[in-house]
Structure formats: structure tokens, C-alpha cells
Amino acid sequence: MTQENALSTVPLMQILTGFWASKTLAAAHELDLFTRLSGSPGINDAELAGALEIHERPAEMLLTGCAALGLLEKRDGRYHNSPLAEEFLVRGKPYYFGGMVQMFDKRLYPAWDKLTEAIRTNQPTAWDPETKESLFGSEDALMQALFWEAMHSLSIFTARVLGEVVDFRSFQRLLDVGGGSGAFGIELCRRYHHLTATVYDLPFVAEVAAKKVQEAGLYDRIETVGGDFFSDPSLPGGHDVILLSLILHDWSEEKGIEILRKCYEALPRSGAIIISELMVNDEKTGPAPAALMSLNMLIDTEGRSYTSAEYINWLGKVGFRDMRTVSFEAAGANGAVLGYKP
């Protein structure tokens, strides 16, 4: 083996140190660094140490680390938020992403520490299946709030991209099944002014969505309905398009087909279904975000990341036709599978 093509351990080190970056971001967020710097003249090592009542050594290290990650910029000896941090990591900003940061750090990071256990047992580690029926049952109120705030942050930007690559102009009324905080309904109704929507989710989640819809000023176009797509005999009717965004990856194939069957029954003829997901390729060799999300489903749910071919097969089993896949890149998904009720 020549020196030019010799293998290196650099790729392994890049994988192993991946958590260093996420924990640096999480620590800075927990210390409110980005909110503190917003609108300020910047800060130096000594000032941060004084403000946080910590030693100057870790203050310097934290600032340097955040600058190296592109979260801070240094000008004239003082650190300022980068545009990325200012837009998404300052509390109170419209597209605040801090809920996702905190949820990953406090909920998922400890569960991933037990990944080997999940692989050996085929059981989630993010919650206890002995005491809870599923991830979506009642849990600590703070963690529950973090989860839905995080999902809202993630879904907003995914919804924007979906609205760009899928034309909703021919649809009139959207049913967002498992719609969470209502981010997809909000963003799609903002883009398509003729569109109205219903967000359908568990009753306590529908309450979260109602607040987000109210804040968005879209209460006259978006309805929220509490329910359970497993126990309810049918889904809300009167819609010509149904969206399932990041829903089917939570469940087994059997339960996924059950959900799709109810969607089929709720749609009129020529009605459409849209499955928006982070999908692995048909060869199951990647891409990395989807493959790692699949492992995240192992520690968190009973599902996994499926392929577009698998979703198309499920849709065909329940009666949908004219299926196609649209690929895109977004924060929470990399494609959508569409099908129509004949």
C-alpha cells in the first residue's frame, strides 16, 4: 500500500468525537450563552466568567469551542453570536431551535448511551416499556414540553421544503394525521392561501397545536382535533389530502399499514396521501442521517427508518395507486411518497 492511498484513523476520530460538538452546543445553550449575547456588544473571557460565576479557564474554552463550531464570531477581541446562533438559538425568536437542543441532550443522549442494550434486547431505552404503554403516553411534564417544542422547531423548516417540492394548489383541505404542534399546517397554509387544515393528534398534543395556531394567527383556517388513530374507528373526514409526517417511522409495518388503511377510508376518490419521512435508500446502505435515525427509533420507538419502496408497497396493499417519490433535503426529512385513491 502506497503512502498516497494508505488508510488513516482520521475518519474514525471524526465519528468518535461527534458528541463533543453536540455537548458543547448543549452546554452553551444550557448556560444561556446565545440569549445573553443577543443584542449585546459582545463578551470576552473574563466577562463571561464573571457573568456565569465560573473560572476564566472554562469560559475561554467554551467561547473558543463555540467559535470553532460556527456558533460565535470574534471581532475586536469580543465574541458575538453568529447569524446561525442569533436566528435559531436565542430564546423568544420566532424560529427558536433550543427545544431540540435541550431534548436531544436531556432525553436522547442518555438513551443513546444504552444503545448496545437496545440492540441486544430490541427494547427502547429512552423510556421504560414496563411502566408505560408507549413513548407517547403521559410522562414528565417538562420533558413532554421539551419534546413538542423540539418537534415544532424541526417541523417548521421541513414543512417549508415540502411545500416547495409538492404542489398543494390542487388541494383544498389538508388533514395532518399525528400533526403534533401544527407546524406543517401552519407553514403550508402560510404558503398556500386557499388551503385550510385540520391537525389531528392525541388530545394533549392537540392543545399544544391549538396554541401554536393561535400564535400564528391562523385559527380561522386551521382546526385542531384530539383523537387516537389506533383506537378511533375512523379519521376526521372532509379532506382531499392527508399528510403523515414523521409518523410511520415510529411504528411496525403492521401498525403502519393499519394507519394507512384508515387514511384510505377517510379520503374521497382522487384524494391524495403524502408520507414525508427520513428514508433509507433501497439498498439500505445510507444515507447516514436516515440510517442513524433508524437507530434512534430503536432506542425510542418500535419502528425504524423505512425505504420509499417499502412505503409504496404498503400504500399498494391498502388500495392507493399512482405512487411516486419526491426527494429533497430538509431538517427532518429527505423525501415524500405520494399516492392517490382511485
- Residues taking part in catalysis: 249
Quick check: 274 and 166 in contact, CB under 8 A? Answer: yes
CA 288 to chain CA centroid, nearest Å: 16
Q: Which residues pair with 81 in a beta bridge?
A: 72
Q: Residue 247 CB: number of other CB atoms within 10 A?
A: 21
Quick check: 79 and 37 in contact, CB under 8 A? Answer: yes
Quick check: 128 and 135 in contact, CB under 8 A? Answer: no
| Nearest residue to 266 via CA among 233, 298, 296, 290 | 233
Q: How far apart are CA 334 and CA 294, in angstroms?
A: 14
Q: How far apart are CA 114 and CA 303, in angstroms?
A: 17
One-letter-per-residue 3-state SS of 121-177: HCCCCCCCCCCCCCCCCCCCHHHHHHHHHHHHHHHHHHHHHHHHHCCCCCCCEEEEE
| Nearest residue to 155 via CA among 232, 244, 36, 225 | 244
Task: Output the nine-digit C-alpha cell for 105.
Answer: 441532550
Q: Which residues pair with 177 in a beta bridge?
A: 200
